[in-house]
Structure 1
Amino acid sequence: MKRTIIWILALVVGAVLGMLGITWLDDVMNFIATIYTRLFQLLAVPTIILAVITTLATFGSKGTGKVFVRTLSYTLLTTIAAAAVGGLLYVVIAPSTLPETVLSALPSVSNEETVVELSYFDHLLSVIPNNIVKPVLEGNVLSLLLLAFAVGIGLSKLPDSENKAVVTKGLLGLQELLFLLIRWLIATLPLGIVAFSAQLSAQVSAGVIADSIGRYVLVVLGGNVIQFFVVLPLFLLLRGLNPVHVLSRMVPAVLMALFTKSSAATLPVTMETAEERLGIKRNIARFVLPICTTINMNGCAAFILVTSLFVMQQGGEPITLGTILLWLVISVVSAVGNAGVPMGCYFLTLSLMSGIGAPVAVLGIILPIYTIIDMVETAENVWSDSCVAAMVDHDL
């Protein structure tokens, strides 16, 4: 509780500093925010690798089968629900088509190089690494998970021996060291929150989000709010868990996600909070949360669906029930394969729209306000990760 109060105070202080409009102060806050984002991203990669390897090696692949199946089931159910809520709101609120004069004046936000680089099929192929070093250097979470699964299962299948014990103890020792570094970083986090809050406040004061698209924004943010406060709590209630208790315990991780805009960078905080505050078993938290960070993208699925429908509508595509259902499936599959990094959903949507010849210039309107959307989506993703981990822990 004390930590949460300190974080909220840091949030308020940062917001006030950002609204002052002092250039040198904004530069300092941006510098500090960048440092914290990089440090958490630095710790996220080894956290994912070691968490999966040590869990599989210590508890064996047989014991993790049920955990993985339940994690995947809850992930798909919550992601489909998030996309469905977004699709339903799109029908109810019905964003209007932009005037032709506005559409014709829009600059393009895409180019051939970007589309090729961010092709979804290229993203899937990149999951299969051709060397061990490359996925680590690039922070390719899916590739790292694949390697971690292989190493962890391999260790669990090795016969008990001194060599196996040495390797396993070495990995567990590295993991304990890593969590010590994470605790040190979290202890200094109020300074980072001040910087993140000031950074956002300065953007808002500068008019970055002044010219919103009204109904579209209402659909996206409304869907996230409903998923966050209604749908996910219902999942918890159906499994016999108190959503108020779970959320109150996971507030530090959700707040961290809000400002880093990266569920991968927030992973160290999510794991530490789930274990220490929520009381999720260590082997469950360190196995489920890295997987959820990679594939459990509730906010991303809703964003891809709603934004794709909006962009296609601007290109004259009729938005029928069949179109919504088709893109609901595409959105869920795409979100599962998306990387948990800032603006990942934006560029993935850009690639999908480019692939079907939709007017991607419309995304230029969304870009100035995407900072706010990305923050809310990431907070929802981490809250969903926490719910999945809590449900799996409760079930098993």
Structure 2
Amino acid sequence: MNLSIKIFIALVLSVVVGLIAGEPALSFINWWIAPIGTIFINLIKMMIVPVVFFSLVVGMTSLGDTKKLGRIGAKTVCLYLLTTAVAILIGFGIAGIVSPGTGLDLTSNAAVKVKEAPSLMQVLVAMIPANPIDAMAKAQILPVIVFSLFVGIGIVQVGGERAQLLIKFFDAAAEVTYKIIGIVMQFAPIGVFALLLPVVAKNGPAVLLPLMSVIGCVAVGCVIHAIVVYSSLARVWGGHTPMEFFRGMSEAMMIAFTTCSSAAALPINMKNCQEKLGVSREVSSFVLPLGATINMDGTALYMGVCSLFVANVFGVDLTMGQMLMIILTGTLASIGTAGVPGAGLIMLAMVLQTAGLPLEGLALVAGIDRVLDMFRTCLNITGDGAVTIVMDQEEKKYDSNVAGAEA
């Protein structure tokens, strides 16, 4: 049986068993089953830094040209930011039709602790690690990416026999990380079941019933964005049919949906893009880790929906200027926001503050944030895969054009 089917069956079983068991069995589930899910998450997290570091160095040395790196990097960032802006517009469109929160009299005095979103300069400073080993120990992906790029550039600049020795070492190390990921993924169905069961058992139908309109808007918006935007990118520029694309992405999408972490899904996403979608290692090793850090289309769509929801609940009519500000802030805020569970609330707090909406609205969204996080994270990593396919095809065309011109 295909692994993605096993994961889906585990997901369905966790919902059924969780609803049947309910809160009376919560103590047993938390004591004996939930730790298994934590072990699975730890196994995935164990591989995040190694796969990013080794793969990016391999990707850099494979490119073999700093000009090529700049060309790919500029195109990738522009495409990521463009799809993020489109995602916010789709969120606005869906929420504008459904009008979630209209007529609700919801008040909450519960304080939601949200870390202050970093400024642009703080993000830029944090990108350069004072101690790369410390950044790796803390799994700070953006500084690790920057350090990896410098190591790759250094190896390319050294050249010769010494460079070949290092290239072979990093290439072998990257292969080892992929093999370990393959072993870990065999336990994915068990991990998915153990992760979701406590959530369903604790909340029961209440995890979905309240504020169903918001959940529905985010879910429908994510599906529309994936089908219309991503499958179009994969088909028109990437040369893959929508069925081929989603089949190749299915395992990574399931992991992202379950763990709510773009970073956790990164190793599986990298493996699947190379093995199932035929993306070259040199492109995927650079574009995917970058996407896991700055590409937050699902989170952007979620911000569009939740902004309108908060505005409706508190009776605020958003002006066109406020909507444009939400689009601009949400797009730029995606850069540097960690690909970890709950990071969307940080971005939402920034957007609400920028648009002049009540921050008390965070307390309303926080109650269903875990469910929303599943959909938006799944969309985030799907976008990473779509952009990677496009960039791979672009580089192949560029190389063939250059070869033709030289001939």
Q: One-letter code of the match for 1:144?
A: V
- Counterparts of 1:242 and 1:276 in 2: how far apart (Å)? 16
- Counterparts of 1:280 and 1:270 in 2: how far apart (Å)? 11
Tell me how large the CA RMSD over aligned residues is: 2.4
Q: 1:109: Cα distance to partner? A: 1.1
Q: 1:305: Cα distance to partner? A: 3.2
Deviations 1:164-190 (A, max 9, x none): 233222222221221221111112222
Q: One-letter code of the match for 1:185?
A: V
Q: 1:211: Cα distance to partner? A: 2.0
Q: 1:140: Cα distance to partner? A: 1.5
Deviations 1:213-264 (A, max 9, x none): x443343333212112222222233324311111012111111111010010
Specify the alignment match of 2:81 in structure 1: 76
Specify the alignment match of 2:112 in structure 1: 109
Deviations 1:299-335 (A, max 9, x none): 1112233333444565665301221112101101111
Specify the alignment match of 1:145 in structure 2: 145
Q: 142-151 or 351-360: which moved more?
A: 351-360
Contact 1:120 1:348 survives alignment (8 Å)? no
Q: Are 2:195 and 1:190 equivalent residues in the alignment? A: no
Contact 1:109 1:360 survives alignment (8 Å)? no
Q: Structure 1's 345 and 188: CA in aligned 2 closer, same or farther, altered over 3 A?
A: same
Q: Are 2:53 and 1:49 equivalent residues in the alignment? A: yes
1:283-302 paired onto structure 2 within 5 Å: 283-302=282-301
2:227 equivalent among 202, 226, 229 = 229
Q: How many residue pairs end up in the alignment?
A: 388
- Counterparts of 1:115 and 1:286 in 2: how far apart (Å)? 31
Q: 1:387: Cα distance to partner? A: 0.9
Q: Structure 1's 304 and 138: CA in aligned 2 closer, same or farther, altered over 3 A?
A: farther
1:209-358 paired onto structure 2 within 5 Å: 209-212=208-211, 214-239=212-237, 240-311=239-310, 317-353=316-352, 358=357
1:36 equivalent among 36, 40, 43 = 40
- Counterparts of 2:361 and 2:269 in 1: how far apart (Å)? 35
Contact 1:115 1:354 survives alignment (8 Å)? no
Q: Are 2:211 and 1:207 equivalent residues in the alignment? A: no
Q: Structure 1's 53 and 255: CA in aligned 2 closer, same or farther, altered over 3 A?
A: same
Q: 1:351: Cα distance to partner? A: 4.4
- Counterparts of 1:211 and 1:106 in 2: how far apart (Å)? 17
Q: 305-314 or 187-196: which moved more?
A: 305-314
Specify the alignment match of 1:382 in structure 2: 381
- Counterparts of 1:87 and 1:355 in 2: how far apart (Å)? 16
Deviations 1:69-93 (A, max 9, x none): 3322321222121111112223333
- Counterparts of 2:216 and 2:9 in 1: how far apart (Å)? 28
Contact 1:120 1:352 survives alignment (8 Å)? no
Secondary structure class of the residue paired with 2:206: coil
Is there any run of 5+ residues in structure 1 with no aligned partner, and where? Answer: none
Q: Structure 1's 206 and 84: CA in aligned 2 closer, same or farther, altered over 3 A?
A: closer
- TM-score normalised by structure 2 residue count: 0.87
Contact 1:253 1:382 survives alignment (8 Å)? yes
Q: One-letter code of the match for 1:217?
A: I
Q: Structure 1's 230 and 203: CA in aligned 2 closer, same or farther, altered over 3 A?
A: farther
Q: Percent identity?
A: 26
Q: Structure 1's 119 and 247: CA in aligned 2 closer, same or farther, altered over 3 A?
A: same
- Counterparts of 1:51 and 1:29 in 2: how far apart (Å)? 33
Secondary structure class of the residue paired with 2:127: coil
Specify the alignment match of 1:90 in structure 2: 95
- TM-score normalised by structure 1 residue count: 0.89
- Counterparts of 2:225 and 2:354 in 1: how far apart (Å)? 29
Q: One-letter code of the match for 1:142?
A: L
Q: One-letter code of the match for 1:106?
A: N
Is there any run of 5+ residues in structure 2 with no aligned partner, and where? Answer: 397-407
- Counterparts of 1:92 and 1:257 in 2: how far apart (Å)? 28
Secondary structure class of the residue paired with 2:207: coil
Contact 2:128 2:147 survives alignment (8 Å)? no
Q: One-letter code of the match for 2:129?
A: P
- Counterparts of 1:176 and 1:219 in 2: how far apart (Å)? 41
Deviations 1:337-382 (A, max 9, x none): 2111111111232245457764222211111211110001111111
Secondary structure class of the residue paired with 1:254: helix
- Counterparts of 1:305 and 1:195 in 2: how far apart (Å)? 32
Q: Structure 1's 150 and 295: CA in aligned 2 closer, same or farther, altered over 3 A?
A: same
Q: 267-276 or 165-174: which moved more?
A: 165-174
